[in-house]
């Protein structure tokens, strides 16, 4: 059996089947159906946020957020994220300006943001990397001072709390992904969360082709809707979030105690953060050592993943910029397998292989 970097959480099949029966009897498959409404309400309660929209995925969520905030010109962002963060900026015809990351938290270095602001800057789009909080207080202060909008790519941040509040509650808009590989998933899916009712109203219109009523259009829009089937998966999975978080925590702590004495660096969790253990990233001394280890693990049917590689400064459609810390770390980092059905014994076995390989230098 292969041990892959991740596996989707599967709720009890009978739960999903119950929802399917309801869908069949109502004959209502998409377009703001009852399950979608129920999921949005339950997510708002779960996250304790004012406004949330369930969308088709986390990439369209970023694109709609950029549109709804009417951003143009330059958007300050991180080179260490999934490609969707940068590609969405470029897709919306804005220019990504990369600010390097902190080598310990792996998030955008807030102390370097101000020097990147120009008269064309309209926003900061930062990622809570691997579910670890950005320095949201510092970013908020900079945004206030320079009159910039803040979007958080919170694709990894479901379940993380900052100062006791869901990390998704921060920023002018937070975007989330509910893709199958994420901690909480709806097969495919995403969300936008915003404290501003007016921005939410705009995003609600944009998600549905710009309709403001059946016969009127309030803005240009896109199809960002999601279906009753996806909402049903979300309703099944939401019940298991406390269990999902606790299993990931146990596995992550086991990894950490097993690997503590090796020349491996772990991500430093931001102060005042209750972390969701979404990923288990490890940074090696060199790319060569990391590649050699991955090859060795692959021989034993263990498949960690290079995440995130390459640094987004290297994208062919981003004008030449440099971010030495992100470029260096992206070459040396991998995420170790972490999923709900991974066992403690498997974690121990993976760690034994890592120790074996790193000690035979």
Ligand X SMILES: *Cc1c(COP(=O)(O)O)cnc(C)c1O
Contacting residues toward ligand X, per CB under 6 A: 57-59, 81-82, 84-85, 127, 153, 155-156, 177, 179, 190
Shortest reach from residue 79's CB to ligand X, in Å: 12
Q: Which is nearer to ligand X, 3 or 84 (CB)?
A: 84
The answer to whether residues 127 and 307 touch, using CB atoms and an 8 Å cutoff, is no
Q: Which is nearer to ligand X, 81 or 160 (CB)?
A: 81
The CA-atom distances, in angstroms, between 307 and each of 7, 100, 329, 331 are: 15, 17, 10, 9
Q: Which is nearer to ligand X, 51 or 182 (CB)?
A: 182
Shortest reach from residue 57's CB to ligand X, in Å: 4
For 60, the 3-state DSSP assignment is: helix
Q: Which residue is nearest to ligand X (CB)?
A: 58
Strands 149-153 and 173-177: parallel
The CA-atom distances, in angstroms, between 277 and each of 168, 249, 266 are: 16, 6, 12
Which residues partner with 166 through β-bridges? 161
Shortest reach from residue 202's CB to ligand X, in Å: 20
Shortest reach from residue 135's CB to ligand X, in Å: 17
Q: Please classify residue 135 by burial: count the beta carbons closer than 10 Å to its beta carbon, then call 0-12 exposed, 13-18 middle and 19+ buried.
A: buried
Q: Which is nearer to ligand X, 84 or 347 (CB)?
A: 84
Shortest reach from residue 61's CB to ligand X, in Å: 7
For 316, the 3-state DSSP assignment is: coil
Q: Which is nearer to ligand X, 105 or 127 (CB)?
A: 127
The answer to whether residues 158 and 276 touch, using CB atoms and an 8 Å cutoff, is yes
Only one residue has tokens 């994208």, namely 315
296 token code pair: 């060795």
Shortest reach from residue 349's CB to ligand X, in Å: 27
Concatenating the DSSP letter of every residue in 155-190 gives: TT-TT-EETTEEGGG-SSEEEEE--TTSSS--SS-E
The answer to whether residues 267 and 104 touch, using CB atoms and an 8 Å cutoff, is yes
Q: Which is nearer to ligand X, 127 or 252 (CB)?
A: 127
Shortest reach from residue 192's CB to ligand X, in Å: 12
Q: Which is nearer to ligand X, 167 or 351 (CB)?
A: 167
Q: Which is nearer to ligand X, 135 or 153 (CB)?
A: 153
CA distance 24 to 22: 5
Cβ-based neighbour number of residue 128 at 10 Å: 32
Angle subtended at Cα 344 by Cα 341 and Cα 350, rounded to the nearest 5 degrees: 100
Shortest reach from residue 285's CB to ligand X, in Å: 26
Q: Which is nearer to ligand X, 51 or 230 (CB)?
A: 230
Shortest reach from residue 129's CB to ligand X, in Å: 8
The answer to whether residues 120 and 73 touch, using CB atoms and an 8 Å cutoff, is yes
């Amino acid at each position: 059996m292969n041990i892959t970097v991740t596996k989707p959480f599967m709720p009890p099949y009978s739960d999903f089947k119950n929802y399917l029966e309801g869908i069949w009897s109502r004959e209502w498959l998409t377009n703001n159906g009852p399950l979608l409404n129920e999921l949005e309400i339950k997510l708002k309660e779960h996250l304790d946020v004012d406004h949330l929209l369930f969308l088709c995925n986390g990439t369209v969520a970023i694109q709609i957020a950029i549109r709804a905030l009417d951003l143009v010109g330059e958007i300050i962002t991180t080179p260490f994220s999934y490609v969707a963060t940068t590609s969405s900026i470029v897709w919306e015809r804005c220019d990504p300006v990369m600010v390097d990351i902190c080598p310990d938290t792996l998030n955008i270095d807030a102390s370097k943001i101000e020097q990147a602001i120009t008269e064309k800057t309209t926003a900061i789009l930062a990622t809570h990397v691997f579910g670890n909080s950005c320095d949201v207080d510092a970013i908020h202060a900079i945004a206030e001072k320079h009159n910039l909008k803040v979007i958080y790519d919170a694709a990894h941040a479901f379940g993380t709390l900052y100062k006791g509040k869901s990390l998704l509650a921060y920023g002018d808009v937070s975007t989330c992904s509910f893709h199958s590989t994420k901690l909480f998933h709806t097969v495919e899916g995403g969300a936008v969360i915003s404290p501003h009712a007016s921005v939410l109203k705009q995003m609600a219109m944009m998600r549905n082709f710009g309709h403001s009523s059946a016969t009127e259009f309030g803005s240009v829009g896109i199809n960002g809707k999601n279906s009753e089937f996806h909402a049903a998966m979300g309703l099944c999975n939401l019940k298991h979030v406390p269990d999902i978080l606790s299993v990931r925590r146990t596995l992550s702590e086991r990894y950490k105690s097993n690997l503590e004495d090796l020349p491996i660096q772990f991500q430093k969790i931001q102060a005042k953060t209750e972390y969701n253990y979404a990923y288990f990233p490890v940074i090696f001394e060199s790319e060569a050592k990391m590649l050699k280890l991955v090859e060795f693990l692959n021989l034993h049917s263990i498949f960690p993943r290079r995440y995130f590689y390459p640094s987004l400064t290297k994208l062919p459609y981003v004008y030449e910029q440099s971010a030495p810390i992100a470029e260096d770390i992206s070459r040396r980092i991998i995420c170790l397998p972490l999923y709900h059905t991974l066992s403690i014994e498997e974690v121990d076995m993976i760690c034994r292989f890592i120790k074996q390989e790193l000690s035979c230098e």
